[in-house]
Amino acid sequence: MAADRRIVIENCSIATVDAHDTEYADGYVVIVGNRVESLGAGRAPEGLENVVRRIDATGHLVTPGLVNTHHHYYQWITRGLATDHNLFNWLVALYPTWARIDEPMVYAAAQGSLAMMARGGVTTAMDHHYVFPRDSGDLSGAIIRAARETGVRFTLARGSMDRSEKDGGLPPDFAVETLEGALTATEATVKEHHDPSFDAMTQVAVAPCSPFSVSTELLREGAELARRLGVRLHTHGSETVEEEQFCKELFGMGPTDYFESTGWLGEDVWMAHCVHMNDSDIAAFARTKTGVAHCPSSNARLAAGIARVPDMLAAGVPVGLGVDGTASNESGELHTELRNALLINRLGAHKEAALNARQALRLGTYGGAQVLGRASQIGSLEPGKLADLVLWKLDTLAHASIADPVTALVFGAAAPVTASFVNGRQIVEAGRLLHVDEDAIARATRAEAQRLAQLAGR
Ligand SMILES: [Zn+2]
Q: Closest Cα partner for 341 from 375, 374, 318, 307?
A: 307
H/E stretch holding 297: helix 296-301
In a domain, 439, yes or no: no
User: How many A from CA of 8 to the centre of ligand 1?
Assistant: 38
Same domain membership, residue 305 and residue 200:
yes
Q: What DSSP state is assigned to residue 409?
A: H
Could you tell me where the DSSP H helices lie in 99-237?
Answer: 103-118, 139-150, 179-193, 216-229
User: How many A from CA of 452 to the centre of ligand 1?
Assistant: 20
Same domain membership, residue 132 and residue 30:
no
69 close to 322: Cβ distance less than 8 angstroms:
yes
301 close to 329: Cβ distance less than 8 angstroms:
yes
Q: Cα(87)–Cα(242) distance, rounded to whole angstroms? A: 8
User: How many A from CA of 394 to the centre of ligand 1?
Assistant: 32
User: How many A from CA of 272 to the centre of ligand 1?
Assistant: 6
User: How many A from CA of 324 to the centre of ligand 1?
Assistant: 5
Q: Can you tell me whether residue 41 is helix, strand or coil?
A: strand
360 CB neighbour count, 10 Å cutoff: 25
Same domain membership, residue 392 and residue 363:
no
User: How many A from CA of 383 to the centre of ligand 1?
Assistant: 34
Q: What DSSP state is assigned to residue 49?
A: S
Same domain membership, residue 182 and residue 121:
yes
Q: Closest Cα partner for 121 from 62, 75, 33, 69?
A: 62
User: How many A from CA of 320 to the centre of ligand 1?
Assistant: 14
In a domain, 167, yes or no: yes
What CATH code is carried by the domain that includes residue 168?
3.20.20.140
Half-sphere exposure of 214 (CA within 13 A, CB side): 32
120 close to 65: Cβ distance less than 8 angstroms:
no
Q: Residue 422: which domain range?
A: 2-64+385-433
User: How many A from CA of 32 to the centre of ligand 1?
Assistant: 36
417 close to 431: Cβ distance less than 8 angstroms:
yes
In a domain, 191, yes or no: yes
User: How many A from CA of 322 to the centre of ligand 1?
Assistant: 9
Same domain membership, residue 260 and residue 302:
yes
Same domain membership, residue 163 and residue 254:
yes
User: What is the residue-level pLDDT of the chain in tens, covering all 458 positions?
Assistant: 567 899 999 999 999 999 999 999 999 999 999 999 999 999 999 999 999 999 999 999 999 999 999 999 999 999 999 999 999 999 999 999 999 999 999 999 999 999 999 999 999 999 999 999 999 999 999 999 999 999 999 999 999 999 999 998 999 988 899 999 999 999 999 999 999 999 999 999 999 999 999 999 999 999 999 999 999 999 999 999 999 999 999 999 999 999 999 999 999 999 999 999 999 999 999 999 999 999 999 999 999 999 999 999 999 999 999 999 999 999 999 999 999 999 999 999 999 999 999 999 999 999 999 999 999 999 999 999 999 999 999 999 999 999 999 999 999 999 999 999 999 999 999 999 999 999 999 999 999 999 999 999 98
27 close to 45: Cβ distance less than 8 angstroms:
no
Domain end position, chosen among 336, 371, 406: 371
90 close to 328: Cβ distance less than 8 angstroms:
yes
Q: Cα(449)–Cα(446) distance, rounded to whole angstroms? A: 5
Q: What DSSP state is assigned to residue 290?
A: -
User: How many A from CA of 71 to the centre of ligand 1?
Assistant: 6
**Phi first, then psi: what are they for 455, rounded to 5°?**
-60, -35
Same domain membership, residue 136 and residue 244:
yes
What CATH code is carried by the domain that includes residue 7?
2.30.40.10
- C-alpha angle 212/232/273, rounded to 5°? 45
**Cβ-based burial of 458 (10 A; exposed 0-12, middle 13-18, buried ≥19):** exposed
Q: Can you tell me whether residue 436 is helix, strand or coil?
A: coil
62 close to 295: Cβ distance less than 8 angstroms:
no
Amino acid at 119: R
Same domain membership, residue 141 and residue 41:
no
Q: Can you tell me whether residue 320 is helix, strand or coil?
A: strand
User: How many A from CA of 419 to the centre of ligand 1?
Assistant: 29
Same domain membership, residue 340 and residue 193:
yes
Count of domains in the chain? 2
For residues 281, 285, 286 and 292, what is the CA-based torsion angle, rounded to 10 degrees? -120
Q: Cα(110)–Cα(105) distance, rounded to whole angstroms? A: 8
pTM for this structure? 0.97
In a domain, 452, yes or no: no
Same domain membership, residue 362 and residue 269:
yes
**Cβ-based burial of 257 (10 A; exposed 0-12, middle 13-18, buried ≥19):** middle
DSSP 108-141: HHHHHHHHHHHTTTEEEEEEEE----TT---HHH
